[in-house]
Amino acid sequence: MLTFDEYQQRVIAAVRPLPPRSVAATDATGLLGLVTAEPLRSRVPLPGFTNSAMDGYAVLAADIRGAAADSPVSLPVTGDIPAGDTRSLRLEPGTCWRIMTGAPLPDGADAVVQVELTDGGTDTVAIREAVDAGCAIRHRGEDLEPGDEVLPAGTLLLPRHVPALLSAGVQEISVIPRPRVAIVSTGDELVEPGQQPGHGQVVDSNGPMLAALATECGFEVVAVRRVGDTGDEVREVLTELAAAADVIVTSGGVSAGAFEPLKLAFEGSGSFDFVKVAMQPGKPQGFGNLDGTAVFALPGNPVSSLVSFLVFVAPATRVLAGRDPQLATVGARVAEHWVSPPGRQQFARVIFDENGSVVRPIGGQGSHVLGGLAGSQALAIVPADTTEVAVGEALQVIPLEGLA
Ligand code: AMP
Ligand code: MG
């Protein structure tokens, strides 16, 4: 039997980031969740032109040096400069332009007086306060100069990066592509979701659940299939999928029964390992390499499948995506006692108490209990040597929301 850490390290060490690909930088939403493979440098200065930071009046600061509430300075207003004005304009000393936020500053002006410090006039304006040269001006290139690094290599692209990405003047960006994941459910007992299961049959819920997990983790699901319990069928379908996927995730068919199709297909093939891991749930695990595609053979009980996906498939596939392997964990205290099997690291389904820092167990911890799974909010990680999880104990938990 392997410890949990030994097996997790083994699957993480078996994979490498996918080769980078150049994609259109303008597809900002399509890039979200991808990791940059090279630094992004601005091609242009930002701002691209010197402009006003306020709605107000572009002036020469020297012209309004003496302005005060009891002795305002009046200036003739040459005209309006709205945002988007593409004219090249000049300010003559002793005059001003009414100017809007983001509009280009006329040549010769060195300050903007915000409208609140004036009477808002359109022919002439009375200015009630002096400002310093440079006031309310955003200078060309003050944010970024051409060649400045906007995003380092290895950046996970998030909504906050979109403005810099779209404004940097680059057409293409090199990113690690989204790992392509194929899902295969095994079991002669499975019927398609939506069909009425007969006696002895169950709905294939793992396939859609694993597809949903992969999607939530930011991977691309390229196939969701169902196969029966023969080694030949499993080998045939997996070989076909290996050509189109970076990762294949199967569920079922890896434990100790008489008809375990993953084992029938690949045990002893040299490129697959079927092991027992000291964890609960999820003890039987298989991992292999099929024509360069990583294959995770997860146990079939839905809870075991979900836990195995989160602690093995997600970390390894995040490595393919150029990311840190581990999903986020948070610390929490135990509010209600539960038991954990000796010698096995437990992933217990728990819910948070109101303040989010305290957890209690939910439902039975049997790996077939779907009601408890649906109600759970996190997996509490109980070390292998703990058998009684005591009230007040501090644990790490993996929240089940927001896996991206
Ligand atoms: P196995 O790992 O194939 O021995 O399956 C263990 C348990 O999980 C059995 O009760 C199966 O019926 C159930 N199971 C396996 N695959 C699925 C699936 N895709 N959806 C729902 N239950 C499944
Ligand atoms: Mg089975």
Percent of the chain whose predicted confidence (pLDDT) is above 70? 99
Cα 190 to averaged position of ligand 2 atoms, centre (Å): 9
Measure the CA–CA gap between 96 and 109, rounded to whole angstroms: 8
- CATH 2.170.190.11 range(s) for the chain read 51-138
CATH topology of domain 51-138: Molybdopterin biosynthesis moeA protein; domain 3 (2.170.190)
Residue 367: what pLDDT?
Answer: 63
Running DSSP on this structure, what letter comes out for residue 198?
-
Q: Which amino acid residue places its CA nearest to atom 17 of ligand 1?
A: 300
* CATH (residue range 330-399): 2.40.340.10
What is the Rg, in whole angstroms, of the alpha carbon atoms belonging to the chain?
Answer: 31
Q: Which ligand is nearest to the CA of 286?
A: 1
Name the fold adopted by 2-16+178-320.
Molybdenum Cofactor Biosythetic Enzyme; Chain A (3.40.980)
Whose structure tokens read 């306060």?
A: 129
End-to-end CA separation in angstroms for the chain: 31
Residue type, 154: G
Flag whether pLDDT at 363 surpasses 90: no
Quote the DSSP letter at residue 33.
T
d(CA 235, CA 291): 12
CB neighbours (10 Å) of residue 203? Answer: 16
CATH 3.90.105.10 residue ranges of the chain are 24-44+143-176
Question: What's the pLDDT tens digit per position in 37-49?
Answer: 999 999 999 999 9
Mutational pocket test of ligand 1: of 195, 206, 262, 303, the residue with most ligand atoms within 8 Å of the beta carbon: 206
The pLDDT of residue 364: 73
Domain with CATH 3.40.980.10 in the chain: 2-16+178-320
Please, which pLDDT band fits residue 357 given cuts at 50, 70 and 90? Answer: confident
Candidate of 283, 285, 301, 369 to mutate for ligand 1, largest count of ligand atoms within 8 Å of Cβ: 301
* Fold of domain 24-44+143-176: Molybdopterin biosynthesis moea protein, domain 2 (3.90.105)
Q: What's the pLDDT score for residue 404?
A: 83
pLDDT (tens digit per residue) in 249-292: 999 999 988 889 999 999 999 999 999 999 999 999 999 999 99
Ion ligand 2, residue ranges at CB < 5 A: 187, 252-253, 300
DSSP state of 115: G
Q: How far is the CA of 6 from the centre of ligand 1 (A)?
A: 26
Whether pLDDT at 368 is above 80: no
- Give the tens place of pLDDT for each residue, 373-393: 999 999 999 999 999 999 999
Distance 187 CA to ligand 1 centre (A): 7
Q: State the ligand closest to the CA atom of 207.
A: 1
Candidate of 251, 274, 369 to mutate for ligand 1, largest count of ligand atoms within 8 Å of Cβ: 251
Specify the amino acid at residue 201: Q
Nearest Cα residue to atom 5 of ligand 1: 300
pTM of the model: 0.92
Q: What confidence score (pLDDT) does residue 365 get?
A: 65
pLDDT at 398 over 70: yes
Q: How far is the CA of 264 from the centre of ligand 2 (A)?
A: 12
